Amino acid sequence: MSAPQIEIQLIAVVIAAACALPGTFLVLRRMALMSDAISHAILIGIVLAFFITEDLASPLLIVGATLTGVVTVSLVELLNRTGRVREDAAIGLVFPVLFSAAVLLIARYAGNVHLDTDAVLLGELAFAPFDRFIVAGWDLGPRALYLMGGILALNVVIIGLLYKELKLVTFDAGLAAALGFAPAVVHYILMSLVSVTAVGAFEAVGSILVVALMIAPPATAYLLTDRLPVMLGLGALTGAVAAAGGYWLAHWLDASIAGSMAMVAGLLFGAACLFAPQRGVIAAARRRAAQRWEFAQTMLAIHLFNHRDTPDAATESRVDHLQEHLRWDPDFAAQVIHRAERRGLIHHHGQALTLTGEGMRVAREALVG
């Protein structure tokens, strides 16, 4: 593996981790679409700052893009407060206008610089190792690695310092306000982190992958855990796996690196959606099946309990009578009886069924509850 390949993967992993941290709070706050809006709308800030500085390496581009991200959030909230449109509709109104204006400005006035629409959407991670960070003649590595490493450190520090506030505002903004916190301030700090992260990742991976890495890994982690610290760590780890795996998928297919990383992130989410131990589709299907069998066993226990010590107890407790009374087909009845016997609810002697002490307890609890 060559040095550029290692550098590309390192840059991708750092970007993925940096995107996943603020993305976790976007997912929990049900603001996933906001990442899409910010990652597209910041382009107008980059373009306007470039027109002022005429230098793609100027730090003012990050400042302009970050301010544009905050403006985007403010415009969305302003429209939402009018009561005429919901938040998702407001996002759909604001960011296409800003993004389209930026694309038009690029096409009209920035055709001769490295600021084209393909780079905007997909980025070009393969070229990132060629933009070096050189100090006093020393080549210290890719500039993007240091930029995104700094943004990752910033995200870790801010989230660490404001962890209590972010957690409280995310899960109960009303309680946070009642306790004296400022939910609006915390909200805008989070949106500023999202904007800064999107700006830093924008040039290397493009807007599509920024959205994918900011939402898919945290959404995957959300399916795997209920604890916020674990979710933050799992989100960053999932993003790193998607970044590295996507690079090698692109290498194998000779395809877009950004597109391959987004594909792997989606596949990881799909796998978690299927196989997550608590929230996965398979786990949910197993729970429903288990509940179905448990309910049937409880119904059997109640049936036997209600007819015990009655004149027709001998008839009602027969296996062949269940089909008539409970409308169970013979195969289903046989499985229920087998499961109830294994569970210790009944005794089975030929056609006769009798409740055990445990079976009586289950029946009483079901009737009382």
Residue range 221-247: mean pLDDT, rounded: 93
Most confident of 57-71, 128-142, 171-185, 222-236: 222-236
CATH of the domain at 295: 1.10.10.10
Mean pLDDT of 236-257: 89
For residues 287 and 264, state if they share a domain.
no
Query: Phi, psi at residue 144, to the nearest 5°?
Result: -60, -35
Residue 174 phi, psi dihedral angles, 5° rounding: -65, -45
* pLDDT, the chain, mean: 83
Same domain (yes/no): 245, 316: no
Residue 28: which CATH number? 1.10.3470.10
Q: What pLDDT is recorded for position 41?
A: 81
Domain count, the chain: 2
Q: What is the pLDDT of residue 245?
A: 92
| Maximal C-alpha separation, the chain | 101
pLDDT digits (tens, 9 = 90+) for 73-82: 888 888 888 8
Which of 279, 314, 337 corresponds to the end of one domain?
279
Ranking 119-123, 241-245, 357-361 by mean pLDDT, the lowest is: 119-123
CA dihedral 254→258→262→263, nearest 10 degrees, is -10
Q: Same domain for 75 and 124?
A: yes
Q: Give the list of residues 6+ apart from residue 109 with CB closer than 8 angstroms, or none.
A: 51
What are the CA-CA distances from residue 207 to residues 79, 85, 148, 202 (Å)? 24, 26, 15, 6
Residue 46 has pLDDT above 60, yes or no: yes
**Residue 340 clears pLDDT 80, i.e. is over it:** yes
**Residues of 99-122 as b/e, b for ≥16 C-beta within 10 angstroms?**
beebbebbeeebeeeebeeebbbb
- Give the residue from 279, 303, 324 where a domain finishes: 279
Same domain for 287 and 252: no
Closest CA to 172 of 326, 28, 288: 28
The answer to whether residues 128 and 185 belong to one domain is yes
- What pLDDT is attached to residue 264? 93
Which are the contacts of 178, defined by CB distance < 8 A and separation ≥ 6?
A: none
Highest mean pLDDT among 128-137, 151-160, 242-251, 353-362: 151-160
Q: What confidence category does residue 110 fall into, taking pLDDT thresholds of 50, 70 and 90?
A: low
Single out the residue of 202, 226, 238, 225 nearest to residue 21, CA to CA.
Answer: 238
Please give the residue that has the higher pLDDT: either 164 or 88: 164
Task: Return all residues near 97 (Cβ < 8 A) that are at least 6 apart.
Answer: none
Which pLDDT belongs to residue 112?
59
**Contact of 247 with 261, CB cutoff 8 Å:** yes
Do residues 188 and 247 both lie within one domain?
yes
The pLDDT value recorded for residue 7 is: 85
Residues 185 and 311 placed together within one structural domain of the fold:
no
Same domain, yes or no: 238 and 319: no
Are residue 183 and residue 60 in the same domain, yes or no? Answer: yes
The structure's pTM equals 0.80
Q: Are 43 and 266 in contact (CB under 8 A)?
A: no
Q: Is the domain of 189 the same as that of 208?
A: yes
Count of CB atoms within 10 A of residue 222's CB?
A: 19
Average pLDDT over residues 13-33: 90
> What is the domain extent for residue 167?
3-279
For residue range 113-158, list pLDDT tens digits in order: 555 544 555 556 777 777 777 777 787 778 878 888 999 999 999 9
Side chain identity, residue 212: A
pLDDT for the residue numbered 172: 86
User: In this structure, are 161 and 209 located in the same domain?
Assistant: yes
Last residue within a domain, chosen from 279, 294, 314: 279
Considering the domain architecture, whether residues 158 and 262 belong to the same structural domain is answered as yes
* Contact present, 356 and 344 (Cβ < 8 Å): yes
